[in-house]
Structure 1
Amino acid sequence: MTGRTTDRKGKSKELKSLTNELQNEIAAFTLPNSLPCSEIDFPVAPRRKPRANWDEILEESEEKFQEVENYENSKKGRQPLSPFLNTECNYLKETVFVHLQPALEETLYKAQIWEALKQQKCFFNGIDHIAQLLWNNNPRHPQRKEHNLHIFNMPWVRELLKTNPRAYYPKSWLWPEDYAATVIQKTVRQYFVQREDEVQEMRNFWRKLEVERSIPEIQGNPLLSKKFAASQN
């Protein structure tokens, strides 16, 4: 019995000493004036899972398909068309528009600078500028780029103006807008009417009749009639 009582007394003394040490440590502990943000656990709001945007998915798929098509086209290469497949559209696209489109773009840029689309009386002439660009940038005559002549300094223009001089004032300066619009509409309608097959046939008939009246020998001379028929075709 005496041994058990001594053990209990020893344990109680140890507990008292531990409690005293904890109380002393708690009394000596003081909070710091400030804590770094890295040591503070702020509450984090739960994030929602991003939903799939159908437009973005379509755009990404189209971009991927376009990349695949571009890669396939680059591998295939362009094959030259056979002569019987070369149409007028291909000729215009590959031969004419290659040089005409840059000239039109530069002409529009110059027209904006001169404000030709806002002012009726403007020194800038778009048709003259297009002719000047096409003549100077002709790929068959690369030496013309070195001189880059103005249209009125070109030899063929000077010769043409000697025989057919221009009016002092262009019609765009003299005509009012209403009358100019009427003339443009009339010309466009005339073109679309004259290109019809029936109208073309009638015009050819009157043209041949006029030639026969002016040259009476054509009726009795088969060679002249054949030559005239070949020239009309």
Structure 2
Amino acid sequence: MSTLSPSSGRSEKNIQSQESGIGSPERVTSLYNETPKKTSWSEILEESSKNREELDNYLSNKRREENQITLDSLPAIAYLNEKIFPSLNTALIAMLERVKEEDSFYHPKTAFNGIDFICEYLYNSNSKYPERQQNPQYIFDMDWVKEILEKSPRPYYPFSLVWNTNHAALKIQSFMKGYWVRKREDVQEMRVFWKHHKLTQHVEDSP
């Protein structure tokens, strides 16, 4: 009758048979003939090489896709080229012909307004409303123009006739300087603060 080991609960006979099998000549020969496994360093190098190859392939494909993207292929630019610029180019050509008729090339201050002419031309030549081409309207006879001028009437004389070149340049420079200052992050934060403060004060003072 075999006794049990107090630590593992296995019989001493089984333990002796296992210990004798470890150092047997057959076991040593089988271990010697087995193919050695790759070292950990070899596995690391192989995995690193594989990852590096995948990264190189990804970068090369990404560069190829970026090279295929051009400015004209962007949705906004494509829409402008297909929908806006053809009509706008036609309006600009018509405006230049009108300027030539008015002899405005050599006179900086004339009654001809290029912006009004382009708006009138684009409105009357809109392809969605072919009836406008048959009965073109003068810009100041259009209903939507009348509504805008009622809310924001124009001065009797436009600034292009009243201001000289130096005064106009000063106005443009002051406007751009103010715009660049207002768009700064610290100035924007301060403007938002005072806007919120005024709104809060108005709510508190209201009955």
Cα deviations by residue, 1:33-73 (Å, 9 ceiling, x for unpaired): xxxxxxxxxxxxxxxxxxxxxxxxxxxxxxxxxxxxxxxxx
Q: Aligned-pair distance for 1:212?
A: 2.6
Equivalent residue pairs, number: 134
Q: 1:196 to 1:90 in 2, by over 3 A?
A: farther
Unaligned stretches of 5+ residues in structure 1: 1-84, 218-233
Once the two structures are superposed, the pairs formed by residues 38-117 of structure 1 within 5 Å of their partners are: 87-117=75-105
Structure-2 separation of matches of 1:202 and 1:92: 37
Q: Aligned-pair distance for 1:196?
A: 4.5
Larger of the two Rg values belongs to structure? 1
Q: Root-mean-square deviation (CA), in Å?
A: 2.9
Structure-1 separation of matches of 2:114 and 2:128: 23
Structure-2 separation of matches of 1:90 and 1:203: 37
Q: 1:86 to 1:139 in 2, by over 3 A?
A: farther
Cα deviations by residue, 1:88-140 (Å, 9 ceiling, x for unpaired): 33333333323223222322332333233432431101111111112112233
Structure-2 separation of matches of 1:213 and 1:102: 53
Q: 1:141 aligns with which of 114, 119, 129?
A: 129
Q: 1:152 to 1:179 in 2, by over 3 A?
A: same
Q: 1:132 aligns with which of 94, 100, 120?
A: 120
Q: 2:193 aligns with which of 193, 199, 205?
A: 205
Q: Aligned-pair distance for 1:144?
A: 1.4
Q: 1:185 to 1:160 in 2, by over 3 A?
A: same
Q: Aligned-pair distance for 1:195?
A: 4.0
Task: Tell me which amino acid in the other structure corresponds to 1:141.
Answer: Y
Q: % of aligned pairs identical?
A: 35
**Counterpart of 1:183?**
171
Q: Under a length normalisation based on structure 1, what TM-score does the superposition of the two structures give?
A: 0.48
Structure-2 separation of matches of 1:202 and 1:95: 41
Q: Under a length normalisation based on structure 2, what TM-score does the superposition of the two structures give?
A: 0.53
Structure-2 separation of matches of 1:94 and 1:196: 36
Cα deviations by residue, 1:148-197 (Å, 9 ceiling, x for unpaired): 11101212222333343322221211112210121122223334444444
What secondary structure, in the 3-state scheme, does the structure 1 residue paired with 2:130 have? coil
Structure-1 separation of matches of 2:198 and 2:106: 46
Structure-1 separation of matches of 2:157 and 2:135: 29
Unaligned stretches of 5+ residues in structure 2: 1-72
